[in-house]
Structure 1
């Protein structure tokens, strides 16, 4: 079971590396790791389990955050309409994106970053992601809103990019041009 002590912190070199593609079909070991990443997110969102195991609530997790430099992400999030989405993916790739941007009005946070970093993080409003799920099926997702932002945040981790790299250093609360605010 993954706990907070397994999550590496900002400044760790693995967080700045480009993660390696996962050879497919995925090994049982890689599937197990991905399954545990999803379990962490589910447990972290359950107040009783989060307290019992001292888990910080998260909605996305990338393998580099647990010091595994492989292209694997887990997402467990409720969208703006209250619908639950759970993904466990190998080798996710953004294959296309909108010109239009979006950003979270509350800013972004990260399980690997222990401090609050205020500012708007410009993201694409809509993205299309291709990946392979935990069962070996090809998936082709069209995402918008919060889901799009979470996926971009996690895929950035696979490329050694942290969310705060996107914040305008001169003016952190500068509203990105042509952008949809997401509450």
Structure 2
């Protein structure tokens, strides 16, 4: 089971590397790593498990965050309509996106970043992601709003990008022209 001790923190060199593609079919070890990423985000949303193991709640986790520089992410969240998005993907890739932007009004956080970094993080409002699930099946997801933001955050980790890299350094709360504001 992954705990906070397994999650590397901001400044660790692995977080700035471009992660390697996972060879298909994935090895048993890669499958186990991906399962454990999903298990962490699910466990971290259970208050009892959180307090027992000292977990910080999260909705997504990428393999580089546990010092494994491979293209694997797990996401577990519900959108504003209560629809559950629970995915563990090998080699996820954004294959298309909207011109329109969106951002979380509350800003973004990260399990690898201990301090709060205020500011708006511009993202695409809608994306299409392709990847491979734990059963080796090709998955194609059309995402918008909160789920789209989460997937972009996790895929950024695979490319050595941190959420705060997107924040306007001179004016972190500058309104993003024409963007959809998402309240979570």
TM-score for the superposition, normalised by structure 2? 0.99
Alignment-derived partner of residue 22 in structure 1: 22
**Which stretch shows the higher mean deviation, 85-94 or 75-84?**
75-84
Q: Secondary structure at the match of 2:149?
A: helix
Segments of 4+ moved more than 2 angstroms: none
Question: 2 CA distance for matches of 1:85 and 1:111?
Answer: 19
Corresponding position: 1:161 with 2:146 = no
In structure 2, what is the Cα distance between the partners aligned to 1:148 and 1:39? 21
Unaligned stretches of 5+ residues in structure 2: none
Q: Distance in 1 between matches of 2:176 and 2:71?
A: 28
> What is the deviation of 1:85?
1.4
Show the counterpart of 1:145: 145
Q: CA–CA distance in 1 between the matches of 2:70 and 2:108? A: 23
Question: 2: distance between equivalents of 1:84 and 1:96?
Answer: 22
SS of the equivalent of 1:74 reads strand
How far has the Cα of 1:57 moved from its partner?
0.2
* Equivalent in the alignment of 1:132: 132
Q: Which runs of 5+ in 1 are unaligned?
A: none
Separation in 2 of the partners of 1:130 and 1:37?
18
Q: 1:6 & 1:94 partners in 2: Cα distance?
A: 27
Aligned length: 183
**How many angstroms apart in 2 are the aligned matches of 1:179 and 1:97?**
14
- d(CA) in 1 for partners of 2:140, 2:180: 24
